[in-house]
Chains A and B, each alone.
Chain A
Amino acid sequence: MPPKGRKIPKRTSAKKSIARPKGRVKAADRTINASKLAALRESARQLEIILTTAPIGIWEWNIETNSVAWSGKVFEIFQLPAKTFEKSYETYQSLMHPDDRPKMQRHLQASLASNKKDYFIEHRIIRPDGEERWLLVEAVIVRNAKGVPVKMSGTVQDITERKRIEDDREDWKARHELVSTAAGLVIYDYDIPSGNILWSGNIRDVLGYTPSELGDVDRWVEMIHPEDRAEAFSLLEKAKSENKPYDVYYRFSKNDGAYCYMHDRGVFLPGRTGEPHRMLGMMNDVSERVRAEESLRESEHRFRILQQASFGGIGLHDKGKILDCNQGLCDITGYRYDELIGSNGLDLIAPEWRDFVLDKILSGYDKTYDVEGIRKDGSRYFLEIRGKNLPMEGKTIRVTEFRDITDRKVSEEKIAEQNRKLFAVTDELRRKNHQLQEFTQIVSHNLRSPVGNILTLLTFYDNASSEEEKRELIALLKESGATTLMMLDELNDVLKIKQDKNIPQQEIVFEKMVHQVTSMLTARITEVKAQITFDFSGAPAIHYPGIYLESILLNLLDNALKYHSPERRPEIFLRTYKDENGHIILSVKDNGLGINLERYGHQVFKLRKTFHHHPESRGIGLFMIKNQIEAMGGTIRVESIENEGTCFFVNFNKPHNDGR
């Protein structure tokens, strides 16, 4: 604050200051002698010339009178109209930026109170148009003989532009510090002739040093890892001599004794002679990145080992085009690695399977499937494929594994073959077991029955009271004995069939055999006026045991004649043909009584089963031929409608999986 007793003028009229400097000077200092006055006058004149052209305002403040004089430039600087301006220290104060006012007043007071001659200050003002400007005010303090300040004369300059540039520089400096700190950068400025280095940036965080602990270029070299030192240095020399950017990685010692990976990039600035005399650059701690890259390399290496060690072939492909593969794929397919890369993976598949595989690729199928592969030499092999779509770098690639499964296929074939044999044996065992059950039934029912009767009759005989009764019982005993014998003969016949697997076979013409059989049945055929027709064009002959075929035809014809309908003339039609499997089928169709298969179907081919009250029903025939047909690996079945007729179908060639 200006002290109370001190008037605080400053400014002076611009017009006056420029137009009449002499008067001002005179009025301001009466103590100056004449020669000095002349010199002053001269200098003021020179100053006047400068001031009219230079953007510098001149002012004078008579402290005693608090009168102020300004040159025109001052008014320009303040952007004030000269006429309306009340020239006083207070007016000047009022234009001052409020924030700078206390500082300025303190400085002024201190300057006046001291014995200093020079006065210097930078401060801001706010112009009437509201714009903030920076001013540089310089002055000389004139004191009287007692040392009391009586006058200040000085200049004022608008230094706003300079200030802005300075601020910008400060800003940039701050930003630079901020960025280098945040980025973990160490910045250097290397003066080549002296070897000195000016360090900045985030030295503490990156290296753990203070800037002063880092030294000149020799110290820098020392701090590089011994293994990297020579190279880092020689590359620096090389870059310098070629004046090219320096861009090197090396390990650099940190304060804690550990090394970090540095990425050092610098450029050279030429001196006047054109020789590099200065180097600017930055060091970046890239340890994390290097470690990550190393572990990636290691993992890639491991993956490659794994892939190469895999027994299968692995290929990466994009819609069939092979991008990469392992040695396994080369081994399996017989191609070299460089032949496979870029080639079409479908070429490794047998042509007839390619559409199938392509379909799997396009649909993204990810389970295993078997196809046939084709090697470079054209040979084929069984191939198991499994593919999987994986996203890679924005697109989808497919990883496909090839596995040569020839060995497995061969084993599978063997197993399947063994299985077939096993099934055949099981089948045969089941059939034998079934036959055994049948025999139990036969023995149990058919053989025990007459024997039991014989025993009962013998008991009766023992208790018989008359000769006549005894004679009757003897007759019954004979009958039972005969039945038993017949039963044993029939069983024997059936047993023979079961055992006689190697019965001789010959080529038999059906038509010939039918003639042979019908001649044996002539009497009955004539009796019932049966009409027998046939069509053997579908299968005229068969390789078969003759006695079996005779027995089959005889029994089926006999059956058809026996169970004819009394209401119509018997018609029997025989036919042979081949079914869809190429098996020979014989059908014997009649228009007889028919069988209610729903009720009696389960008994048709059983021993001693008859379905008609016919005097000649014995029930052995169908049972017998069924055994003969089955012994030769065939089957027999029946279709019938009661009162319409019956048709028997014999399939001679049904594959007989007996394992032989």
Chain B
Amino acid sequence: MIAAASCLILAIALGCAAMSRPLGCLIGPQPRWAVIVLMIGAGAIFGIGATSILFFAADLLAPGFRWMELVVEITVLAWLIYASVQRRRKMERPDPEPIATPAESNLESKLPSRPKSANPKSPNLKSQARGPLNLMMAGALLVALTLATGAMSKAWDLNPQGNWDAWSIWNLRAKFLAAPSMGPNDAGSNTASPATAARAWSPLLTGTHPEYPLLLSGAVARCWAFSTSGSPMPDAVPISIGYLFFLSLIAVVTGGIAIARGSLAGLVAGLTLASTGALLHEVPSQYADVPLAAYLACSVVFLLIDRSIWRPIWAGVFAGFAAWTKDEGALFCVVLVILLAAVSVRGRSAWNHSRRPDLLRVILGMLPGTLTFGLFKAFLAPHGTAQFSAGTLSRFANGGRWEVVLAGVGSQIVSLGAGWLHPVFIVAAFAIGAGFRTDSRRDPYFPAFLCTALAAAMLGAYCVAMVTSPDDAAWQTGTAAGRLMVQWWPLAVIAMMVWLRPAEELAIVEPSAKNKRP
């Protein structure tokens, strides 16, 4: 158990160390707590995803040498820590005026509202005046998370192996990946027997989708592989990983929105997710939907807080990891690229800001995840989905299927909350107080349009996928729509929050309004 926890901590440490470079520079201009929360949330899911891919690739390329993977991880962590310390030392030294590269200065000049720590009207200083409110909202978030954890702990006790898909798909395949590697003649079966890991995508795995991507299974398998020499494999590993993804999702959305739209908006966004009953219900299931939701949200957050040439790459990295988590993640990558390409074509005239460099960087960032996904689908698990089988067009044109799917999706969106309290009321309460943004020159609409378009396009794409699925529409909607909405809901919350005015702006507006009174 200690070895499994150490593996998980190593992955998180690796991710947090990697995040310190792109996010560390925000400490100062932005609220320190928000940057740290985002760094830990994004770092945890990056570390878990990156080590999962490394584990999978290492097992394929060098079976029997698993310790090599640990050596690589520890070496990279040491190097990241060393580089971070060196960078801090360098920053402490008095530096001559920095010379920006032409590409960087060009992009920076176009990006709106670069945080300036020296600006006395910057949001971080304003937010200090709202300290008690920040504390109240943070306290409410902690209470909501504690209650959520309490509810989950009962489910973990009663059902430690999760729900159906956990033990029939995700953790089953983790067991195959975690088993010690064998040679081709080692399997003792009467069929051609590849290494045990290959059983995770074997066509013999009938009814359990061996073509599904393997990020979650790989992450669980990595901890199992380094912690046990055989069975039993501790249930605490998939439970902990599922819970970590949930906490990371809350952290990423809270920290990201706090950086982009102010501390209070971030805390409201976190509260909205932490009190979403459907999301909390999915965590103890140990399915891949919450991890996918975390990657999708993180990708959007990195697009939203875009202030440097590196962060679009990170947005792509998280989108790529989403693809290696579930097929819906690949759909997100396609939607994201199409949207950024469309913006790139319309370019300066539409947004007064060229996003072409962003598109290329996002695609570059996607490569680790999407390449793993593509190679896996092409060479290891080509017995793929029947989504595009004969009859796809006729199913797409079938009005009855659309009716069933739209009714099912609508019903799932309405029942996202616990009881009759829908989490959208929390955003609505905040919107009544803060109001909608109005000044597009000082606070450009582009990020808000992008987030909204992404959320809307994903919702549409999910509906199309269910309508064109070869399965019965009612069955498909009944079994999948709820989980798809859990993936989508964080994107919707982000999209709603970016249209609202930062609450901190009111601290400036209110006194000046008072002064005008006779």
Chain B binds chain A:
no
Interface residues of B (CB under 8 A from A): none
Interface residues of A (CB under 8 A from B): none
